[in-house]
Each structure stands twice: as C-alpha cells, then as structure tokens.
Amino acid sequence: MPRQTFAVIDTEALRHNYRMACDLAGTAKPMAVIKADGYGHGLVRVARALAGDAGRFAVACLEEAELLRAAGLEQPVLLLQGVHEAADLSRCETLGLEVAIHSHQQLQWLADTDARPVLWLKVNSGMNRLGFTAAELPAIVPGLADAGFTLRGMMTHFACADDAASDRSLSQTRVFEAATAAWPGLWRSVGNSAAHFRPGQPLYDWSRPGIMLYGSSPMIGQQGPEAGLKAVMTLQSRLISVRTLAPGDTVGYGDSWRADAPAVMGMVSIGYGDGYPRHAGTGTPVWVRGQRARLIGRVSMDMLAVDLTAIPGAEAGDMVELWGANISVDEVAVHAGTISYELLTGVTARVPRLEAGTVAAVSR
C-alpha cells in the first residue's frame, strides 16, 4: 500500500480557470502557458484537458514541446525562449513549433540555417530580460521576410503586472504599441495572468495566462478563490501517528517547537523531499477533519508535525490537505516566503499525480 501522499489534479477546475481567462481576455484569446510540467500538474495531462478549448499552447523550450507532440497533441505551440542552438531550428520546423526570437545570437542561427520555422519576435518593452528594443526592429523584420521566414507575431512581457499599485504595465504597453505599430498585420501578444486582472489593460490578439489556470491568484496579496479561481492541485497526505505532549515537550529537529500546555500532535507523511517548503514555519495552515490546523516545528524530509489539540478525534489515517481547495497554495506560499509558482513546480517526482476522483478526497 502506498503511503497515500498525492497531488490530486482536478482538470474540471483547470477548465473553469481557462474559461475565466477567456472571459477576462475579451477579444484576445488566451494561449495556455503549460511550461515546467504544466506548473507541476503534468504537462500532457494539462494539455489534454485544455486541448478542446485552448487553441494554442506556450512552453519554455523544445524539450517540453517534444513531449506534447509525442503525446499526439497537434495544436500550435510557441517556444517562449526559442531555441538554444542552431540545430534545433529544423526540429522546430519538422514539429510545426513556433519559435520566439529574442537575441542577436538567435538571429545569426536563423541566417545560418535552411530550416524555416514560424517565428515570433520578442520585444523588450522595459523588463530588460530578453528581446529587441523598438529601435532594433526595423532592421530585423524586413530581413526575416526576405529570407523566407513567416513572422507570426510580436510579444512582450510585463515586469510588475502582479502589483495593482504599479503603472509599469501601462508604460510597457506604450513602448510595445510604438514598437509594433509599423506591422499591423502581425499578431501581438502581451499578458501574463496578472495582466488579465488589470482593468483596461489591452491584451491584443493573444494573452498568455499561466499561474491563473492552476487556480492561484497572480496578484500580490490575493488568494486564488478571492479572484474566482479554483485550485487545480490538492496536495494531500495522511496522519501516520498521533501523540499527546506534556508541557515542556519539544517536537522535531532543533527542538524547534515546545508545548507550553498539554497538546496533541500528529505527524503527516510529507516533507521537503516531496516539495513541501521547509521554510514554512509554525503556524502555516493545514486542513484536517474539515478544520484548519497549524504546522508546528521544523519540516523534515519525509514528514511534518501538526497541532491537533483543537481537533478532537483526529487519528492516524486521517487525510490532511497541505494545499488545495481548503487551504490556498497562495497562503502557504506567504508562510514560506515564496510564491505559489515555486511551490507548485517544486512538488517532487516522489509524489504521484492522480486525477481527481481516483483517490479519496480530503473531507471538506
């Protein structure tokens, strides 16, 4: 019998969140960003669940797109980082992948190849991570067309869209508009998840939601359910031991938690070896028997301790939700000093991903 530590994936919630992205995107269409193993939910599972609705996917790199094609998924796929060597361009053409070009080195690779994959150009509108400036584009675009490349679109990425108080997205939008104005026939793509929640933000032809599809809020200080999103992953395990503690008893490595009154303590079979964050300290919420309880002491590799004093009847075998529909991954991320993206993508290979309905759910 396996130890009952699972990441349960609710593809209905995924589709709900995608439909919400569509509603928020207005006349733009969202391409589903499914890089990093579908943000830890399983690349092919996520792609299959969205294939009927999302006309287009975005991944970081060729290796991820190869997995989609090997699984028989034929939708257009955009490689957000383009290729990492010249030889990959012909593979992209063969697989029908669209390649974002962001650097002069990549332009040189295009000049050196006979392959003609479909291209996008990445515009640096101020994030200064990747892309060409507006001033560079007039020297690049005609050359690509002359060389026989199909240029499908221009894209840019926002640095501060998650901060409702920042107007950086507006200034980046102005730069992008000016940079792309000379080529009205090309698609334009802006908009990570957060941009969908910014009133008045234009999303042009294609937006690129990622984290919101998985039910986590892209906005600083907000949790997914507050934004109308549904958690797709439930990370769950079970109590494997329950004991009573006397005042003064300590729990775990470093004696990092001490009972100051009689207490009931349970051990859950999940730890940082599963991707549960070790930086989540005492007070981080967990869900047991339909109630919130709190983590106590230091997270171990394979287990963690929870305070069950206020949960009468809790016993070994009880299911525990670490994050999911009852405990937002966004809330756990705050306790761990990180963001939901890191927690979701950090669930390790030891944790089986199961479809919702194939395993007993945590009681609500």
Q: Which residues bind ligand PLP (CB under 6 A)?
A: 33, 35, 80, 157, 192-193, 208-211, 218
Separation between Cα atoms, residue 3 and residue 50, nearest integer Å: 30
CA distances from 12 to 231, 232, 360 (A): 10, 8, 17
CB 215, min distance to ligand PLP, A: 12
Q: Give the nearest residue (CB) to ligand PLP.
A: 210
Pairing of strands 250-251, 353-355: unpaired
CB 154, min distance to ligand PLP, A: 12
CB 57, min distance to ligand PLP, A: 12
Residue closer to ligand PLP, measured from CB, 80 or 268: 80
DSSP state of 137: H
Listing DSSP states for 181-232 in one string gives TT-TTSEEE---HHHHTSTT---BSEE---GGGGT---STT--GGGGT----
253 is catalytic: yes
276 is catalytic: no
Residue closer to ligand PLP, measured from CB, 157 or 198: 157
Residue closer to ligand PLP, measured from CB, 15 or 208: 208
Choosing from 35, 214, 272, 341, the catalytic residue is 35
Please name which of 212, 176, 177 lies closest in space to residue 192, comparing C-alpha atoms.
Answer: 212
DSSP state of 234: E
Pairing of strands 257-258, 250-251: antiparallel
CB 229, min distance to ligand PLP, A: 12
The residues facing 167 across adjacent strands are none
Choosing from 122, 214, 230, 253, the catalytic residue is 253
CB 39, min distance to ligand PLP, A: 7
Residue closer to ligand PLP, measured from CB, 50 or 211: 211
Residue closer to ligand PLP, measured from CB, 35 or 45: 35
Helices (H) and strands (E) in the chain, counts: 11, 19
DSSP state of 274: G
Catalytic residues: 35, 253
